[in-house]
Amino acid sequence: MTSDDKAAAERAARRRLAEDEADIASRRAAAPLRQVFGRFWRHPSPWMILAVLAAALTWRIAEGGWQRGDLWAPVVLVALFPLLEWLVHVFVLHWRPRTVGRLTVDTELARDHRRHHADPRDVPLVFIPWRSLAAVIAGYAALALLAFPRLGQALTFIAAVAAVGLAYEWTHYLIHSEHRPRSRLYKAVWRNHRLHHYRNEHYWFTVTSSGTADRLFGTFPDPAAVPVSPTAKNLHAAG
């Protein structure tokens, strides 16, 4: 790509960024939080996660035998969630399809995430695909039941993962909804994810927090120092 081509791509990317942010600003002014919350439950993944949370809590209460040791895994999960979120976003959602012989290695999660970047305002693409979510739920629940020495510990952990997962889905949906942020904390989270979508897809990978794991891995730069990416809406395309 010549210098003229790069300059043209940069101008086009900046123009797209300005148009998208102006559109987002105008759309977000209209929707109150109560309305956005109601729309959140029109999609399958929140209900799937809520069902797991309710079932795990019900079973845990029936199991009884509460101990302090039940809490260590949920506490570690919450503490490490920004790190886990960053790793999943980088290595699972931004997975670049690979060809092994005649086989193309790709996943539904990665495919839908590429579509999500292509149109961040397409609401169904904001949510975890239900087929992939079902596989994740089955896998982590089975692993928890096998890994923990007591059933009560496993059920507590399953419930904690579901609670964190529901918080992730709500936060991600809220960022892409028409609701305008008001609190200082949420503004930081909202801006962080907007920068990932509308400025440069190679930075700002956390969704439910801002400046946590991104600082650790060097993906939390000064936005003014980062060029607008011409491939933010077309992941893995040649820049």
As a whole number of angstroms, the distance between CA 152 and CA 71 comes to: 10
Residue 125 near residue 208 (C-beta atoms within 8 A): no
Helix axis angle for 184-198 and 151-176, nearest 10°, is: 70
As a whole number of angstroms, the distance between CA 164 and CA 150 comes to: 22
pLDDT of residue 54: 98
Phi and psi (nearest 5°) for 146?
-85, -30
pLDDT of residue 102: 87
The stretch 27-42 carries a mean pLDDT of 83
The stretch 169-176 carries a mean pLDDT of 97
Selection from 212, 162, 203 nearest residue 185 by Cα: 212
What does the angle CA 232 – CA 132 – CA 109 come to, to the nearest 5 degrees?
15
Q: How far is CA 126 from CA 5, 17, 78, in A?
A: 32, 19, 22
Q: What percent of the chain has pLDDT over 90?
A: 80
Q: What percent of the chain has pLDDT over 70?
A: 87
